[in-house]
Amino acid sequence: MKTLVYVTTILLVFFTVGLSSVQSQTQEFEGYTIIRTTAGPQVCLGNWVQPKDVALSGFCDGQMVDVAQLSAISARQSAQKMDQLLFTLVSIDQKLAVNNDQVKGLIQATVNTQNAIDQQVRLVGEFLREAVTKRFDALPKEMFANDLFKEELKKLKEDILEEIEKRYSTRSETFKK
């Protein structure tokens, strides 16, 4: 009987040691199952299926590769992704360059339009000043006989010319003031 207990204890120890060694052969890392084999660590790229019997090792439902192969595959995929990213960035840069050229063209067109508007405003202002001056100069001399009336007409002419200057000054002249 002692022998039977002794043999049972030894078998139980071997079973426990064997069970823990099978379970310690697998390790989960970032979604991958790493299995320690005699050929070195292997990575399961599929699903790792746990065995029904704890004394047996599980199996990979997919491809098994060693760590060096996985590193090479990962490096190649990273390089491909970097190439795609670089291509996208170059495309964005080209589109930005085209947009910058278009914005420069729009700015130049705006400057040209504003210059044309300023020139028209200046010409209209000059025309109005000349017209007012001619009209006041064409008034009959008898109207200027009275000094008080003459001063009022002169003041009216200056007020009108000043108002024309305010309303018909060009944009750049407005900013200079």
In a domain, 167, yes or no: yes
What residues pair up with 81 in beta bridges, in sequence order? none
Domain that holds residue 146: 81-176
166 & 102 share domain: yes
Residue 90 lies in a domain: yes
The answer to whether residue 76 is domain-embedded is: no
Same-domain pairing of 113 and 27: no
Please answer whether residues 56 and 67 qualify as being in contact, where contact means their C-beta atoms are separated by less than 8 angstroms. no
34 and 26 Cβ atoms separated by less than 8 Å: yes
pLDDT in tens, 67-112: 888 889 889 999 999 999 999 999 999 999 999 999 999 999 999 9
Whether residues 47 and 133 share a domain: the answer is: no
Kindly list the averaged pLDDT for each block of 10 residues, start to end, along the chain of length 177: 68 51 60 81 85 78 86 92 97 97 97 93 91 89 84 91 84 52
Q: Mark whether 172 and 85 lie in a shared domain.
A: yes
| Residues 42 and 120 occupy one common structural domain | no
Q: In which element (H, E) is residue 119 found?
A: helix 67-137
What is the tally of structural domains in the chain?
2
Domain boundary among 13, 28, 62: 62
Asked if residue 85 and residue 56 are part of one domain, the reply reads no
